[in-house]
Chains A and B, each alone.
Chain A
Amino acid sequence: MNLGILYSGGKDSTLALMKAQKYHKVVCLISIVSENKESFMFHTPNIDITLLQSQAMEIPLVRVTTKGEKESELADLKKAIKDAKTRFKIDGVVTGAVHSTYQASRIQKICRELDLWCFNPLWLKDQVELLKEVVSEKIHAIIGGVFAEPFDESYLGKEIDGRMIAKLSKLHNPAGEGGEIETTVLNAPVFHKKIVITKSSQEFKNYAGTYNIDDARLEPK
């Protein structure tokens, strides 16, 4: 099968992509850029990094911008998936959904309407196990945003490694399933080149903040 993956540039979608590649060909990344910071479906810090990730993986990117209003963002997602179906002849869509029935059911409905398979290879996975798998699969992910207590500035830009997993394991949602943290992947076995950040900045206020990648480039691994 030819598959497209809903790709946010974070640890979950990268791990889901690697799992899908064991059985099928992933022919495109599908990224939704939301202008609404409150979007439940698509808000992701550093979403523009998917442009570099696409180059690093040598997998083309289908990118659609949405205003992020509740119903229109679903129409925009459908438009992006439909576009991927037309351009790359995809038979199905892969997502990095883990526990969110809100996200999963909406994507399932769109796939159904477009007559596409829908695969969620991380579905119901234990969050600590998921983090451990990210590390054991050599996915180099950093924390690109924190959005809840007890996070402070010190987490921003830090790598997901064994020590970070030990800290995150104490939390209610260790892998950030409730949107507490967002991650950005800079390198993984599926990358032909690695991403090097050349300029960054941070914002933080009231337990919420982002590590912004202002400039980055690809370098040989």
Chain B
Amino acid sequence: MILIISTCKEQLSELEFVEPIKRMVDEFIIKRFDNITKDDLIKAEKIIICGTALKDFDYLETNWNWIETYDKPLLGICAGAQVIGKAYGIHLKYEINIGQQKVETIKPNVLCDGEFNAYFLHTKNVEGLETIATSQGKPCILKHPKKEHYAVIFHPEVMCSNIIRNFLK
């Protein structure tokens, strides 16, 4: 079972940021960021933390410390990537990026390889974990050095859903 975590303050945003992820997963439960229980974390084989609207920052007010001690695979998308950074004590950098950009894989990994286009929609970036892909010279996919915790700054569900499929394998 996959735990899909919504970072959306507004339910209307979930149609845009959570529904597309849900359609790619066979067995899942969906929980809002402020309603996750210990039991949810124990039951989940893997976790995906979804993105949210550009104007939404409520998710950053929540305690995400459980990520630090969570050892199973975790994929954070955009806002999800930011909370992974936050959990590991990384300062989030202001950086506005909206639209398509080329991504270059710089380290062998299970999510992606080579060059591809991706859709970016964010105002904060994460730096400080191991960089496995960059865009315009800046990290855009990061990984914890010891755990399968991935922070993807762009929205792979839009143009590169194989990243999510590879994570789910």
Contacts and interface: CB of A to CB of B under 8 A. Distances in A.
Contact of B159 (A1, A101, A109): A101
A156 B97 CA distance: 41
Contacts of B10: 1, 23, 117, 119
A20 B56 CA distance: 17
A101 B15 contact: no
B157 A108 contact: no
B111 interface: no
Q: How extensive is the interface on chain B, given as a class?
A: 20 to 34
B53 A117 contact: yes
Interface string B134-159: 00000000000000000000000111
Interface stretch (A38-46, A56-64, A120-128): A120-128
B78 to A, nearest CB: 13
Contact of B54 (A1, A118, A122): A118
B60 interface: no
A101 B13 CA distance: 17
Given A116-B55, A123-B20, A101 B12 contact: no
A124 B11 contact: no
Q: How extensive is the interface on chain A, given as a class?
A: 20 to 34
A217 interface: no
A124 B20 contact: yes
A108 B157 CA distance: 17
Contact of B99 (A19, A92, A101, A123): A101
Given A19-B15, A20-B12, A101-B159, A117 B55 contact: yes
B96 to A, nearest CB: 7
A111 interface: yes
A3 B20 CA distance: 23
Interface string B93-107: 000101110000000
Enumerate the 4 nearest inter-chain pairs by beta-carbon distance, A residue then B residue, closest first.
A105-B99, A124-B20, A121-B15, A123-B16
11 contacts: A105-B98, A105-B100, A105-B119, A112-B55, A117-B10, A119-B12, A120-B16, A121-B12, A124-B23, A124-B157, A125-B19
